[in-house]
Amino acid sequence: MLSTLANSRTHHLLTTGQNTPSALTNGIHLAFGVATALIAIAFVLTVAVLRQPQAPSRSAVRTAPAAG
């Protein structure tokens, strides 16, 4: 996916008249930016999903009435 994105961006820049080294650099730069954003999103989701539940406080725990 990222290589397709970089190639597409590079091709677009070349067709608009930008020189080859600059177009290649900008294409790869875009791909790395997208990869960085995806990693950041994955990290945030991992922290949110794997967060350990906190133990309930003693005041929140209710004791069951004795049966009888």
Q: What is the pLDDT of residues 17-57, one digit of tens each?
A: 999 999 999 999 999 999 999 999 999 999 988 886 776 66
Contact 24, 52 (CB under 8 A): no
* Among 30, 25, 24, 29, CA closest to 11: 24
How high is the pLDDT of residue 62?
Answer: 61
Using a cut of 0.85, tell me whether the model's pTM lies above it.
no
Count of C-beta atoms within a 10 Å radius of residue 43: 10
Amino acid at 7: N
How high is the pLDDT of residue 57?
Answer: 65
Strand (E) or helix (H) holding 28: helix 20-50
For the chain, how are helix, strand and coil distributed in percent, rounded to 5? Answer: 65, 0, 35
